[in-house]
Each structure stands twice: as C-alpha cells, then as structure tokens.
Amino acid sequence: MMETGKTEIYKNAFPNVLKSHRKLAKLTQEQLAERANIAVRFVQHLEAGKNQPTISTFCELAYALNTSPDKFMFELVKALPDNK
C-alpha cells in the first residue's frame, strides 16, 4: 500500500520530537538507549525514521526522557503541521 503525504508527515514528526527531546535532556543516543532498555541501533533507526516504536517502547522512551507518555504524546501532536 502506498503511503500518502499526510502519513509521511506523521512518520517524520516522531523522529524530530524524539531527537529534540533527547538533545534537550542532554543525552547521547547511547544514554537514551540504556535508560529505555533498548538497543542503540534502534534509537538511531527511530531518529532516522526507519522504525516506529511500539506503545511500550514509546512509554519507555518518555520515561527515559524524564517525562510521562501523555506529555510526550502531546509534544508529538503539537509538532504536527496541522497543529501549528
């Protein structure tokens, strides 16, 4: 199935939000991976938009970034072009 332009926008929002929050937290990809109990390569793929997290991984990433999953999701939604 071919992805629409809107789907691409949504897929690109997560990598941007993840990377900006990681940098705000002054964490390396390695530190984030360790805190979230995931592989460094997976963090790299998430930030590159090559993978999407499961709900449980999304929550682990939020906690690793010292925020709650709902606040992290709110930041993700705010980053979408429709909400600017």
Tokens 């970034």 sit on residue: 65
More confident residue, 80 or 71: 71
Domain tally, the chain: 1
Place 28 in a pLDDT band, splitting at 50, 70 and 90. very high
Rounded Cα distance between 22 and 35, Å, is: 11
> Would you say 68 and 41 are in contact if contact means Cβ atoms under 8 Å apart?
no
SS3 at position 67? coil
Q: 41: domain range?
A: 10-83
Please tell me the predicted confidence (pLDDT) of residue 68: 97
Please tell me the predicted confidence (pLDDT) of residue 84: 55
∠ CA(62), CA(38), CA(22), 5° rounding? 40
Which CATH number covers residue 58? Answer: 1.10.260.40
Please tell me the predicted confidence (pLDDT) of residue 7: 72
pLDDT digits (tens, 9 = 90+) for 8-27: 777 889 999 999 999 999 99
5 part of a folded domain: no
Q: What is the pTM of this model?
A: 0.86
pLDDT surpasses 70 at 83: no
